[in-house]
Structure 1
Amino acid sequence: MAQTATTGTTVAEVMAELAALEDPRIREVNVRHGDDHGVNLTKLRAVAKRLKTQHELARELWATGDTAARLLALLVCRPKAFERDELDTMLRDARTPKVHDWLVGYVVKKSPHAEALRVAWFADPDPVVASAGWALTTDRVARSPEGLDLPGLLDVIEAQMKDAPDRLQWAMNHCLAQIGIEHAEHRARALEIGERLEVLKDYPTPPGCTSPFAPAWITEMVSRQHTP
């Protein structure tokens, strides 16, 4: 097994450490959410902090296919070092929710290929891939909306969100909420779409947390913006 130049850590050693951190109770909870690993994420982040950035080690960890190893890989990789095609392959191979979310949020968003991938993934026939395109679009709605067709996005959400598969529906709903929160000129329409479609209206929300139901989400976040 190849060793990294910095620490001498091998993939086998890291995998053994992750195996030692495995907790059946955590795995049981994660499996209910579609994530097949049993490692406490705080402990996983502590391992990543010790390893620091090691891009080649990250590639080797990703290649194992193990979910905990892939999550660790996403914490120790160098996001800007991945090629566009490599990120596309990784995204299509990332089928567990946590790996998918971390790949998009921690790596792709920081990549120089983020916008090209956003456009490519947005209309992909695979709904899980498309959800990544919507997640990147939502990030742009909040951070750099120039050039986005917000009325056009609302048209697509209005026509497709109600019957979209779960992960894609969730991503579209987030985009709907973000448009309503960030863009006052589109808020009334965003609220109306959310009220009419009723997506996630009955989603169980713990006390003190914001409901993912778009009208409630928009109303809550806008009220916070105007609270002294």
Structure 2
Amino acid sequence: MIELAELDNPRFREVNSKHGDDHGVNLTALRAIAKRLKVQHDLALELWATDDSAARLLALLICRPKRFERDELDHMLREARTPKVHDWLVNYAVKKNSHSEELRVTWMDDADAVVASAGWALTAERVVKRPDELDLAALLDIIEAEMKDAPDRLQWAMNHCLAQIGIEHADHRPRALEIGERLRVLEHYPTPPNCTSPFAPSWINEMVARRS
């Protein structure tokens, strides 16, 4: 914790705060510490318990994802209120855990929009990697009805799912494009040069064009 405090940079903290995060440690430096520590699950639990965002990010780099119980991950997600901790928890721990599918289904219907966004993030990955038994048409129905007015993080995750359906599944692409064009979600999101816009129709068309 002393080492993390010494790495805290006010400039990084200011930039991160604009995205809703509350840490000032450079992520490259954080990964270097994790590389030095290697996997230490018990230490990861201690770091998580500090409630410090930099410590929690480090915890997610050195944890052993398969050791987490279902309820443990559920509790951790509900504690992870900053975007970066939330994102790393889903990607570095939940996705690699045997309970990920059960949590995906449970979280998608959660009344807490931040928790629900994790369910949609996991669903977007399933759309790409394991679409079997997913009702893509039903997912599009929900997106069409709810995405426009969803809170920011949930809207972002639903939009990601919409784009992945359009990119990966040609039979659903026309409807995905139509929904994106009509709802106009993230149409004007600031996008750096040479980066893909998160506006679903642009995202879908660009990725499909690259593959062809």
Which range, TM-score by smaller chain? over 0.9
* C-alpha deviation, 1:115, in angstroms: 0.2
SS class of match (1:112): coil
The residue that corresponds to 2:104 in the other structure is 118
After superposition, give the CA deviation of every residue in 1:61-103 in whole Å (9 maximum; x if it has no partner): 0000000000000000000000000000000000000000000
Q: Which of 68, 87, 90 is the aligned partner of 1:104?
A: 90
The residue that corresponds to 1:201 in the other structure is 187
Q: Which of 183, 191, 196 is the aligned partner of 2:177?
A: 191
The residue that corresponds to 1:69 in the other structure is 55
SS class of match (1:65): coil
* C-alpha deviation, 1:194, in angstroms: 0.1
Q: Which of 200, 203, 206 is the aligned partner of 1:217?
A: 203
* C-alpha deviation, 1:37, in angstroms: 0.4
After superposition, give the CA deviation of every residue in 1:20-58 in whole Å (9 maximum; x if it has no partner): 111110000001111100000000000000000000000
Q: Which of 148, 166, 178 is the aligned partner of 1:180?
A: 166
Distance 1:80 1:116 in 2: 14
The residue that corresponds to 1:6 in the other structure is none
Q: Report the aligned-residue RMSD.
A: 0.4
Task: Give structure 1 stretches of 5+ with no counterpart.
Answer: 1-14
Q: Which of 128, 131, 142 is the aligned partner of 1:156?
A: 142
The residue that corresponds to 1:140 in the other structure is 126
SS class of match (1:68): helix
* C-alpha deviation, 1:175, in angstroms: 0.1
SS class of match (2:102): helix
* C-alpha deviation, 1:205, in angstroms: 0.8
The residue that corresponds to 1:129 in the other structure is 115
Instruction: Name which one, 1 or 2, has greater alpha-carbon Rg.
Output: 1
SS class of match (1:210): coil
| Residue 54, structure 1, aligned to residue 40, structure 2 | yes
Q: Which of 24, 36, 53 is the aligned partner of 2:22?
A: 36
Structure 1 residue identity aligned to 2:76: M
For these two proteins, the number of residue pairs brought into alignment is 212
Identical columns (%): 76
The residue that corresponds to 1:82 in the other structure is 68
Task: Give structure 2 stretches of 5+ with no counterpart.
Answer: none
Distance 1:20 1:62 in 2: 19
Distance 1:163 1:31 in 2: 24
Q: TM-score, normalised by structure 2?
A: 1.00
Structure 1 residue identity aligned to 2:165: I
Q: TM-score, normalised by structure 1?
A: 0.93
